[in-house]
């Protein structure tokens, strides 16, 4: 009998220890979430880690961070979803959200409790799929025209921003006659970047990728005219990748170039004496210049077991109070998507930032379509053919139109 009692006692003790250990592990586990993002530069990591640290302190939790690169980050995310190892919270580019939300791998978010109305209007569309909310806008930004004032003067022109792209085309011969410089930086073959330059010209000429019914209009005459103009500019400029043209502009070799806020930081660090300025996208054929608008979005994996804490994290990171600090400390982050902080005093006191803010009033995001990345590739391939003389603009866009139609019919 004593042996039985002893065995029973030992069993109960062991069971109690296992139970207590299990509780401890569950408690720790409940207070830990994973977050994958794309801010991998050392200064960017330091900023985002400091903001996350505040959330961890306020919520007595841990956020395990994994940094991704734009080169293969999307592939890693898709592999994680396929292997059921997706992070609790993930960052997605504005043109990626539809692909993930339509695939059913993101958690639907409650519009009311997430206070979706607090975001700037143009940032909302990528968040939604079939009228349901799957991601929150975090930060938004756009591209503007950078121009070298010294090259303007040397070519015999005033140091003023061009009103139209025709002015740049008119100035090109004089600028190109200067040694080792180019009038215009034209993005050539450059995956995931070229289309951002091309749509600027399409939209500025009144063109669209899809009509109101969602049917492709890639070979519309307005788009053909816009691509023709871009090809003309490229023949009067430096045709290269974005990285190469950014570097050439910093070196003072490019007169006009469409780029983002990261270039301001690059100039400050590498050639602070460069005499340059920025302005809104010029008119094209008398029409308002329209720029590409991009954004970063935060979503929760449908696989997550920590949705309560993950939702708190989404609300914290997208809260304008926190996202404005993020944007202040990382220039290329752009602006908070929270409309209450979009015109923060910090931005209004920064002339360069206000140029970007004004451009956002005349900027558009790419169409919300789950197959956008494939459509983007088709558009870029057509542009490359026109740029390198493999096809005329009309022929290249006719082919692209057929390819997009076939793509959508298959899905």
At the fourth CATH level, which superfamily is domain 31-141+294-361?
Periplasmic binding protein-like II (3.40.190.10)
pLDDT at 314 over 60: yes
Q: What pLDDT does 58 receive?
A: 98
Q: What pLDDT does 2 receive?
A: 42
Residues with Cβ within 8 Å of 130's Cβ and at least 6 positions away in sequence, in order, are none
pLDDT at 40 over 60: yes
343-360 pLDDT, tens digit per residue, is 899 999 999 999 999 999
Report the predicted TM-score, pTM, of the whole model to 2 decimal places: 0.89
The token pair at 342 is 């979009």
Range 73-91 average pLDDT: 96
Q: What pLDDT does 30 receive?
A: 78
* Domain extents in the chain: 31-141+294-361, 144-280+371-410
118-140 pLDDT, tens digit per residue, is 999 999 999 999 999 999 999 99
pLDDT at 5 over 90: no
Q: What pLDDT does 28 receive?
A: 55
Q: Are 181 and 249 within 8 A, CB to CB?
A: no
Q: What pLDDT does 27 receive?
A: 53
Q: What pLDDT does 343 receive?
A: 85
Whole-number CA gyration radius for the chain? 25
Range 112-116 average pLDDT: 91
Residues with Cβ within 8 Å of 209's Cβ and at least 6 positions away in sequence, in order, are 199, 202, 216, 217, 218, 366, 367, 375, 379
159-194 pLDDT, tens digit per residue, is 999 999 999 999 999 999 999 999 999 999 999 999
* Average pLDDT along the chain: 93
pLDDT at 22 over 70: no
Q: Which residue has the higher pLDDT, 9 or 170?
A: 170
**Fold held by 144-280+371-410:** D-Maltodextrin-Binding Protein; domain 2 (3.40.190)
217-258 pLDDT, tens digit per residue, is 999 999 999 999 999 999 999 999 999 999 999 999 999 999
Domains 31-141+294-361 and 144-280+371-410 share a fold: yes
Q: What pLDDT does 23 receive?
A: 39
Tell me the pLDDT band of 328, cut-offs 50, 70 and 90: very high
Kindly tell me the sign of the dihedral angle through the C-alpha atoms of 393, 143, 313, 57: positive
Tell me the pLDDT band of 396, cut-offs 50, 70 and 90: very high
Q: What pLDDT does 410 receive?
A: 84
pLDDT at 12 over 60: no
Residues with Cβ within 8 Å of 288's Cβ and at least 6 positions away in sequence, in order, are 204, 362
Q: What pLDDT does 71 receive?
A: 83
């Amino acid at each position: 009998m004593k042996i039985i009692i002893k065995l029973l006692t030992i069993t109960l003790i062991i069971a109690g220890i296992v139970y207590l250990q299990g509780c401890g592990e569950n408690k720790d586990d409940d207070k830990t979430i994973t977050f994958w993002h794309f801010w991998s530069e050392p200064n960017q990591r330091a900023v985002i880690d400091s903001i996350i640290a505040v959330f961890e302190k306020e919520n007595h939790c841990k956020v395990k961070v994994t940094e991704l690169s734009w080169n293969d980050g999307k592939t890693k995310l898709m592999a994680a979803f396929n292997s059921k190892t997706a992070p609790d919270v993930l960052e997605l580019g504005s043109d990626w959200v539809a692909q993930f939300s339509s695939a059913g791998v993101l958690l639907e978010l409650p519009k009311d409790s997430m206070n979706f109305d607090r975001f700037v209007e143009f940032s909302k569309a990528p968040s939604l799929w079939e009228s349901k909310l799957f991601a929150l806008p975090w930060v938004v930004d756009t591209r503007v025209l950078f121009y070298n004032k010294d090259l303007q003067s040397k070519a015999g022109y005033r140091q003023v921003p061009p009103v139209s792209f025709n002015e740049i085309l008119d100035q090109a011969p004089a600028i190109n006659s200067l040694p080792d410089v180019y009038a215009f930086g034209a993005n050539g073959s450059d995956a995931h970047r070229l289309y951002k330059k091309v749509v600027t010209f399409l939209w500025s000429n009144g063109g669209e990728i899809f009509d109101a019914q969602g049917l492709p209009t890639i070979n519309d005459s307005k788009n053909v005219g816009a691509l023709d103009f871009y090809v003309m500019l490229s023949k009067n400029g430096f045709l290269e990748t974005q990285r190469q043209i950014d570097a050439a502009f910093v070196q003072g070799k490019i007169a006009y170039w469409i780029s983002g806020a990261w270039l301001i930081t690059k100039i400050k660090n590498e050639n602070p004496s460069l005499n340059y300025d920025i302005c809104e996208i010029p008119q094209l054929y008398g029409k308002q210049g329209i720029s590409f608008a991009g954004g970063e979005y935060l979503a929760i994996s449908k696989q997550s077991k920590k949705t309560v804490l993950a939702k708190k994290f989404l609300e914290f990171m997208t809260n304008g109070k926190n996202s404005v600090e993020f944007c202040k400390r990382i220039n290329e982050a752009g602006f908070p998507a929270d409309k209450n902080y979009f015109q923060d005093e910090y931005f209004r006191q920064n002339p360069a930032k206000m140029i970007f803010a004004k451009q956002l009033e005349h900027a558009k995001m790419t169409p919300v379509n789950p197959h956008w990345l494939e459509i983007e590739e088709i558009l870029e391939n057509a542009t490359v053919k026109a740029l390198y003389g493999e096809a005329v603009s009309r022929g290249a866009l006719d082919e692209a139109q057929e390819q997009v139609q076939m793509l959508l019919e298959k899905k």
